[in-house]
Amino acid sequence: MRNTKNDRRSQRTRDLLRSALIELMLEKRYSEITVQDLIDRANVGRSTFYSHFLDKDDLLIGGFNTMIDALSPFNKLQPAAGEPLEQLDLTPLFSHMQEHAQLYRALLHGGGLDLIFSSGQSQLQRQIEAYLAALAPQPALALALIASMMTGAIFNLVTWWLNSANSYTPAQINTIYKQLVLPGVRGSLQL
């Protein structure tokens, strides 16, 4: 049995195309990048591109999903019973983003976030909502709303972090996040 995905040639092609996309997104907006640009930059045949990906969006989403998957240990987010809200630790998430800062920076610079919002952010949002549900029996506001706000704050915090001098560690970003967001959340959860 031959494993298609493990073929060195396939991996090489995929890597070349993903790198090309990141490179190009640092140079111009995602919407302005054409398949032609990608295959030129990756030095890959046109038909090769289409045998790996459906289109440009598929390449972007696929590359991002790879990252998301790498984040699966983050599923340990769920709190123990009676655990205080302060226990929330997003450090693994921020560490992951720091490791792949190049990709996230490209996303922030080149746009293409609309596509990610539908997969990435909503997934994170669901996890946070589940976390809150486990803690709060009687929330004063809809959990979906609070989770949405918390996710948005993560997103904007990371934007600021990656665009600034980047001198903060993931643990520090985690502290800042909690300092800025948790007081309001605690009140709304009526803990």
State the residues that interact with DNA by CB under 7 A: 1-4, 6-10, 12-13, 34-37, 43-48, 50-52, 55-56
Please report, to the nearest 10 degrees, the dihedral formed by the alpha carbons of residues 17, 19, 24, 27 taken in order. -170
Distance CA 135, CA 165 (A): 36
Query: 105 contacts which partner out of DNA, a copy of itself, none, CB within 5 to 8 A by kind?
Result: none
Told to check if 84 binds a copy of itself by CB under 8 A, we report no
Query: 182 contacts which partner out of DNA, a copy of itself, none, CB within 5 to 8 A by kind?
Result: a copy of itself
- Is 16 or 35 the residue whose CB approaches a copy of itself more closely? 35
Distance CA 88, CA 130 (A): 13
Q: Which one of 46, 184, 190, 191 is in contact with a copy of itself (CB under 8 A)?
A: 184
Distance CA 117, CA 27 (A): 22
Of the candidates 23, 26, 52, which has an alpha carbon nearest to the alpha carbon of residue 38? 23
- Is 119 or 156 the residue whose CB approaches a copy of itself more closely? 156
